[in-house]
Each structure stands twice: as structure tokens, then as C-alpha cells.
Structure 1
Amino acid sequence: MMGRQATKRELFVSISLEEYVPEDHLLRAVDRYLDLSEFRLCLADSYSHTGRPSIDPELMARMLIIGYSYGIRSERRLCEEVSMNLAYRWFCRLGLKDKVPDHSSFSKNRHGRFRDHDAFRQLFDSVLRRCMAEGLVQGEGFATDASMIKADAQRQRSRPGDAGIDWGDPAQASRPVREYLTALEQANPVPPTPKRISLTDPAATWTAAAGPAIFAYCTNYLIDLKAGMIVDVEASAVNKTAEVEATKTMIDRVEEKFAIKPRRLVGDTNYGVAAMLGWLVNEKSIAPHVPVWDKSEHHDGTFSRADFIFDAENNRYVCPAGKHLKPAQRSQQKNPFRYRASQYDCQLCELKPKCCPNMVIRKIDRSPQEPARDVARAIGKTDAYRQSRRERKKVEMLFAHLKRILKLGQLRLRGPSGAHDEFLLAATAQNLRRMAKSCFYKYQI
């Protein structure tokens, strides 16, 4: 016999949210490791001791963590989801009859007290300290990389960089424009003129690095190689120089805050420039497990710089024919690290067609950071370097997770401060998810 569901509308129902959240739910594991007491203490000075009670900042932080953990990009939709989802209500410490904050509360607090106190950086640091307490951060090896994230700026609302844009009264301009103009005033030296500038987010970089040109920012990750935990994150412009400077900032900040300095740093060729290698080897004493950025290799059958032996004791190069290349005298002030062969030696040399067929003499430029580059080249021949290259995939996996699972393929907030907030919250959510999945079952009975 076909059954029929009997609809009973009970006027009074007594339930506990604890019973409706599964024991293996991700938010149960995240809740175990999330402590927002420091977050509340960080914001205490920005609240008055009298007046009507405000929305609990801990509640807003928990809702934001839900949004970034589950890829809920809209704060309007986040409020709706928390209102309807029992697990979300349980995680936010809300009862069935408790009211969910309005979406406008997030914008008001983000542009105000959250940003003034750098509260999201404090939240990220507190989660990282818990990761360290759980033994997920070893500090022996770090990996770094950058990934491009599309900005909330369209091509139609842009102008050529040399168009002479009149931004009007800075006091009446939007927040991203004010941030851009302030950064220009403080920049030394003045940055080069970009090809195009967005009128809605002028600090965003116009780039065609990943296909059709877009406005974008870069999120820079510094991760610990033991469990792939993110130890620092930094927003930057989309160019190699900015990415290298962001990595330096992150390494210094981690050392200052947590007294952790890795023995090795793993990165791709973007971090193999001479200045970066010199900074790692000479100033930080960190082994660079990084491919050297080297343009001296010849592919036309002529001798490359590697075919010449450097005699450090006599400060000269020895060519394959046994002749010497000495520091140039006339151009010493312009280029003190250029070495030149004797014209007499080159003209009579049988190897000239393979050495410098289109030049009168052979010249070699030597970087002042060449000893550090030699250190990186020597490391590149070891088994430890090959292991580091395999471990570097962990940071690539985090970027894939960021864009595919957390759905951070495009920013919602504008300006460097908006990118800063979004990248910090996303990295915090990633650390919480990874820590929860790594440690939760260890504590289950």
C-alpha cells in the first residue's frame, strides 16, 4: 500500500543544535583549534565602555571564516546561509531564534576598526601559533611563490597610463584612489608609468601574464615544508621585483614575530635573481634551493660564460685557450665588474670563431653577487635540491585549492588594503582546514 506522509505542525519543539551537527563535520574540527580571545582583545580599545552593545566581533570573525572556508564570496549570501544552516549556526554560537547580523555590518567594521587594528593579521598569527603548538611547523625549510588574482576592476573603466588623469579632490575620492595617491606620494623612487590605470582600483596591475590582459594583484605565500602550513602571506603588484620584495618582507616578519628562520628556501626561477641570492646567502645565511636566473648561456655554438674559469686570487677569467680576461680599465667607473680580453690575444686565437665571432674581443660581465650565485649553482647539483623541487609542489597545491575550492579567483574588495584583507582571511581558512584535517582524528576517542 502506498504510504502518505502525515504533516504535523508542532507549535513548540525543543531541539539542540549539538545533536544536528555530525561528529566528523569540518566545522567541529575547526572549532576545536580556533581561539578568538586574542582577536577580541585586539579590538577592545575601539569599543566604548558605555552605550548599546555592538555586534560581537567574534561572531563576525566566525562568519567570515565560514565564508572563506566554503567559498561563499558574497556577504549577503553568507548571512542567508548562516541563517538557514544548522552547522553554521552552531559554529557561530547562534541559537535557532538568534538574529544573524546584517551584511552591512561587515563593510562598516572592515573599513573601520578591523583595518585600523590590522585585526585579520592578528587572527592569522593566532591560528599560526596554534599550528606551531600542534607541531605542524618545523621551521627547517620554507617555500615561496606568488599567484595572480584578478582585481575587481574592468578594462572599460581604465585609461592609458600617460593620459594625465585628474583624480579631483583626494578627500572626495574613493578609498582605493586615496590609497593609490598616498602610495605615489610616499614612493621613492617614483614607479614607472603603467600601460593602463584603472579608475576604480588604480593600484591594480595591468598584466597579460596569464592570457588576455586584466587588472590583478599577486598573493605571495611563504609555507613551511613539513605540513604545508602557510607561515606568512603578502599582497603585492604583479611583477617579479614586487614578488621578490614581498618574500623578503615575509621572511623578516616571521623571524621577528616567531623567531623562526629556515635553513633553506625553495622557490622558482623568479627568486633566482642575483640580488635575492646575495640577500639570502650573505645577510640571512639561508641556503637558496632556487634555480639561478642566468642569461649567459649561449645556444649558437659559441662559448658561454660557464666555459671560462674565474681566478679569484688574481681577479681574472681564464678562457678555454688559456688566455686571461682582466678587469676593464676605461669603463671601470660605469661597470666595475666587466672583464676584457687582450685584442692581440683574440685576433691570433684559433678559437675566436667559437668565442667571439662578431666582436673584436671577448667581454664578460660578472655580477657582484656571483659568489652567492655559485652557492646556488652548487646546491642545484645535490640530491637535497631535487627533493626540494618535489616539495615545492605543496605551495602550488595551496594556490589550486585557493582558486578552485575557496573560489578566490577574483577579489571582491578593492585597493591594496582590500587585497591584504582577502588574502589574509583566505590563508587563515586554509591553515584552519589543514590543521583540522591533520589533527582532528588524533584526538577522537
Structure 2
Amino acid sequence: MALRFAVEAREAIREHLAALFASEPATPEQTEETHGGSAVLEPISPEEASPGPFPLPTSLSQTRRDDLAADNAARHDWIAEEGRPQREVHGTYQRTADLRISTTDPDATPMRLKGGGTHLGYHTHYVVDGGRSRIILSVLVVPGEVNDNQPILDLIWRILFRWRLRPRQVTGDMMYGTIEIIKALEDAHIRAYIPVAERGQRAGYYGLAQFTYDAFHDQFTCPQGHILRPAYRLEGSQEVQYRADAAICNACPVKSACTESNRGRHVHHPFLADYLDRVKAYEAIFAYQKALNKRKVWVEPLFGEGKQWHGMRRFRLRRLWRVNCEALVIASGQNLKRLLQKRGWGRRPFPSEAVAMALPLASPIEKPPTNRSKTIHRRKVAVAEMISLGLNNRQSYAYILCFSLNSHFMTIFLILSSSPISLLPSFLLYQIEMGNFLAHPFS
């Protein structure tokens, strides 16, 4: 005699294995055993011997394209909008910037200061590489009314595709610890090393951490052992409200430390609480603590450097798109400082982006003025370049060509010739403007 469930389980396993391996062809060893030691092999076609690569879909269906287009049109892209917020009114909520606007800079909105009060301004967002060089990967300036956590996902997705990066982790402060950001990062297989605020915490009352959640029965247990069951499903905030029996709470001896309501204690549990629990479990990992400590000493000083040395404390331009340009210039300067610190301040490599073109023989050369003041002369510097003539005896002669350089751009003229009889010069114009290297032809 045997137990019925054991026999039925064995039969179910046999049927499952038979159905699983029924479609597999017999191996040569099995064929040889079947035919008494004489293997019968069928000829294999060249296509079966070397099958081609598995065809992958190269394009989406029209239905999928329409769905993606509708989703992209509905969402607010902070990069495409250049930091402009989406001014939609939800319910009775109304922003101060919706009613009041600055006549000097309409894009600047009131922002709270640490010492109290408000001031018109902007918020600058940096996405910084976690290495020793601390390279700034992306910059975005938004009005002061925009929360810090709103444009972060668009900035992260942009650097992933723009620089082809595959980060293992993203580190931020508690401001970025929202469910939407954490879910998006974890779904992209990126660890979110972000502190998560305690939910349901009120001064003088039990917080949510004192309640135990039973996922199997979908209920909470209070510190006194009473049960809180699901009461409401809040679709707007994506939470489920759990409430205890009012009669039990009113008779509880520690009610004053739990709630002041006569309808019983209630707590809220998010729909996606598993993501928050996963991120909170990272706090026990050494890499999590190391990442937060590195952020304090490697990332935050970049903002102090920009404010102290590069004028980020008060932008010189107005309107949002101009302020974004100024922030990009500041970030480019900070990156160039780290590049020069890494490579040294010695000889620079010759620019590969230069464009050479023919120079007319009768090209007038503007001589630098000699009657300028010393201050203007410091801003407009005379630069000497070399004209080399390759002669038969391989001698070379250098000629000085002077031109002016103002405070915004630098232009370098380089005339080259290798023929001793005819001077067929080539012209090279290389312009460096605001930290960006641009090549321009000249005629």
C-alpha cells in the first residue's frame, strides 16, 4: 500500500516528462541501440547543418508605433521642453507662479531660501559620473518652483542613450526616493542607492515601522497585537488604507500613543511597496553607505565650486533657455578643469577638427593697432604663428603673423607652403568659442 497522493504525484511527473521530451529527435546512440548496433543516419541538408542567425524584429508594428507615439505625446519630456514645467491644474491645487509672474524674467519663479523668505531663481541639476574625475554628464536648469525629483528620470535616460552608459547604481538624496523613480531604476536593472523616508511617521505616535505586515493574509498587526484589515483602495495616491476596529482602538490602553481618532487607527500601504522594501534592504550593504559618503564629498562640492568660482550663485542672463546655455558653459569649464588636471598643462595635441583651405595670394593682413591702452591690450592679445617654407636645402623660415584676440573667441591663422618657387598657401581657421571647439572654413 502506498499513499494516494504519492502515486498520483509520480504518475503526474512521468506524464509531464513524456510530454516535455516527446518532440525531441532520437540521438545516434539511441538509434544504434534500436537497430541492433547498425546506425541508420539520414543525410542532413546544408541549411540544417549550419542554420543562420535567428531573425530579430527590425521594426515595430504600426499599432505599437501608434501606442508609443500616444504615450510620448502624453508625457512631459523635460529635455525636449528645455526645463519648462507642465502647468496643469489638478483639482483645487494652484501654484503661486500661475498667478504671479516677474516682468524682468518671466521664467524665474519664487523659491524658498534657507534663511527664510522667497526669491526669484532657478534650480540647476547635475548628473555626475561616480568616478574619481567627477565628470558632469548632463545639465538642466528648471524654474525654482519645480521639485528636484521631477526631471531626474529624463536626465538619466538621456545620458544612457547619449553616452551609451550602463550604470550599476544611481545615488541620490532622500528627495529622489519616490516610488516612481525607484521603480523605473529597478526595472532598468539599476540599483537605487537612495534613502527612503519613513512612511506614516507622526511626532508622538506610532509610525508604520511599528506595524507588522502579513503579505499572505494582506493585513497589518499593531504593537498590541490587533489586526488592521483593508478598508479602502485609493487609486489617486496608489495606496491601500488599512483600518482597525474602532471599538478595539477606543478600549486600547495605549491609544494616546497610537491615534487620536475615534474611528480607529489606519495606515496606508503603497501598491508598489515591494520596491521600497528592496531599496531599504540596501541600507545594510557596505556599497550603499560608501556610495552615499562619496556623494557628499564628490558631487556636492561641484555646486559649491560653481557658485564660488564660476558665477552660478547668480546667473548673468535672463530667460530659461539663456540660463541653460550659461549653465552648460559653466559645466563645460568644470569638466575642462578636470581634463587638464588629468592630462597636465603641457603641450596640447594638434586639433583634429581643423579645416584647411586655399588662401588667396593677395590677402591683406590686418596689423594690430598700436595706440590702445594697456587694459584693452590685455584683452586683445597679439598671437604669432609660423609660416614655414621648405627649401631645397631643407631650411625653413618663420614669419610672424599677428592678429587680435578678444575676450570671447580666438582665431588662429596658419599658412603652410612647401614649394620654393611658387607660394601655394593653405589656410587654417580654428575658432575656439566659449569652451567649444568649432572648425570654420575661410575664403
TM-score bracket, normalised by the shorter chain, equals 0.5 to 0.7
Counterpart in 1 of 2:196?
292
Partner of 1:229: 135
Change (3 A) 1:360 1:292: same
| 2:332 is the alignment partner of 1:431 | no
Amino acid at match of 1:289: Y
Cα distance, 1:382–1:240 mapped onto 2, change above 3 Å: farther
In 1, are the aligned partners of 2:200 and 2:268 still within 8 Å (CA)?
A: no
Distance 1:248 1:293 in 2: 19
Letter in 1 for 2:325: D
The match for 1:353 is 256
Residue in structure 1 matched with residue 52 of structure 2 by the alignment: none
**CA separation of 1:323 and 1:240: change in aligned 2, threshold 3 A:** farther
Larger Rg: 2
The Cα shift of 1:263 comes to: 1.6
Q: How does 1:300-319 map to 2 (within 5 A)?
A: 300=204, 302-319=205-222
Q: Which amino acid aligns with 2:256?
A: P
Which residue does 1:406 correspond to in 2?
310
Q: 1:293 to 1:415 in 2, by over 3 A?
A: farther
CA deviation profile, 1:109-128 (whole Å, cap 9, x unmatched): xxxxxxxxxxxxxxxxxxxx
Give me the whole-angstrom Cα distance separating, in 1, the residues matched to 2:110 and 2:199: 26
d(CA) in 2 for partners of 1:307 and 1:408? 44
Match status 1:396 vs 2:283: no
Distance 2:89 2:310 in 1: 37
Determine which of 123, 134, 144 is the counterpart of 1:238.
144
Matched AA of 2:104: T
Aligned pair in 2 of structure 1 residues 428, 441: CA closer, same or farther (>3 Å)?
closer
Q: Counterparts of 1:28-427 in structure 2 under 5 Å?
A: 187-188=87-88, 192-194=95-97, 196-211=100-115, 212-227=117-132, 228-239=134-145, 241=147, 243-281=148-186, 283-300=187-204, 302-329=205-232, 337-393=240-296, 394-427=298-331
CA distance in 1, matches of 2:139, 2:336: 15
State the AA in 1 paired with 2:149: V
Opposite residue 128 of structure 2, the aligned amino acid is I
Deviations 1:20-45 (A, max 9, x none): xxxxxxxxxxxxxxxxxxxxxxxxxx
Change in 2 beyond 3 A, CA 1:255/1:363: same
Q: Deviation per CA, 1:361-397: give whole Å up to 9, x if none.
A: 1100122332222222221233222211211121111
Superposed displacement of residue 218, structure 1 = 1.0
- Counterpart amino acid of 2:331? A
Cα distance in 1 between the residues matched to 2:201 and 2:234: 24
Q: Quick one: structure 1 residues 382 and 333, their matched pair in 2 at CA, closer, same or farther if it must change by over 3 Å? A: closer
Per the alignment, do residues 442 and 409 of structure 1 end up closer, same or farther by CA in structure 2, a change over 3 Å counting?
Answer: same
Give the secondary structure class of the aligned counterpart of 2:198: coil
**2:107 partner amino acid:** A
Q: Which amino acid in 2 is paired with 1:324? A: I
CA contact (8 A) 2:198 2:209 kept: no
- Is the alpha carbon distance of 1:427 and 1:333 closer, same or farther for their aligned partners in structure 2, counting shifts above 3 Å? closer
Report how far residue 276 of structure 1 moved.
Answer: 2.3
Instruction: Give the fraction of aligned pairs with identical amino acids, expressed as a percent.
Output: 27
1:251 is displaced (CA, Å) by: 0.3
Provide structure 1 residue ranges, at least 5 long, that are not aligned to the other structure. 1-178
Deviations 1:3-55 (A, max 9, x none): xxxxxxxxxxxxxxxxxxxxxxxxxxxxxxxxxxxxxxxxxxxxxxxxxxxxx
Aligned length: 260
Residues 301-321 of structure 1: CA distance to partner in whole angstroms, max 9, x if unpaired?
A: x32110111112222112222
Please tell me whether the aligned partners of residues 219 and 233 of structure 1 are also in contact (alpha carbons under 8 angstroms).
yes
**2:249 match: secondary structure:** helix
**1:209 offset after TM fit, Å?**
2.2
Q: Residues 341 and 362 of structure 1 are in contact (CA less than 8 Å); yes or no, is this contact kept in structure 2?
A: yes
The answer to whether the Cα contact below 8 Å between 1:274 and 1:293 also exists between their aligned partners in 2 is: no
Contact 1:251 1:261 in 2 (8 A): no
Relative to total residues, which structure has the larger strand share, 1 or 2? 2
Give the superposition deviation at 1:188: 4.6
In structure 2, the gaps of 5 or more residues are 1-80, 349-443
**Cα drift, residue 295 of structure 1:** 4.9
Which protein has greater RCO, CA pairs closer than 8 Å, 6+ apart?
1
Q: What is the CA–CA distance in structure 2 between the aligned matches of 1:349 and 1:341, rounded to whole Å?
A: 11
Give the direction of change, closer, same or farther, for the CA distance of 1:372–1:318 in structure 2 (3 Å limit).
same
Describe the shift of the 1:383–1:294 C-alpha distance in structure 2 as closer, same or farther (beyond 3 A): same
Q: What is the deviation of 1:285?
A: 2.7
- Structure 2 counterpart of 1:64: none
**What one-letter code is carried by the residue in structure 2 that aligns with 1:409?**
R
What letter is aligned with 2:126?
A: Y
Q: For 1:411, what is the secondary structure of its paired residue?
A: coil
RMSD across aligned positions (CA): 3.0
Helix, strand or coil for the counterpart of 1:366?
strand
Q: Matched residues in 2 for 1:442 and 1:314: separation?
A: 69
The Cα of 1:326 is off from its aligned counterpart by: 1.1
Deviation (angstroms), 1:352: 2.8
Using the size of structure 2 for normalisation, the TM-score is: 0.53
CA contact (8 A) 1:254 1:261 kept: no
Q: Match of 1:356, SS?
A: coil
TM-score by length of 1: 0.53
Q: Distance in 2 between matches of 1:333 and 1:389?
A: 33
DSSP-derived class of the 1:217 partner = strand
Q: Structure 1 240/277 Cα, relative in aligned 2: closer, same or farther at 3 Å?
A: farther
Q: Which amino acid aligns with 1:414?
A: R
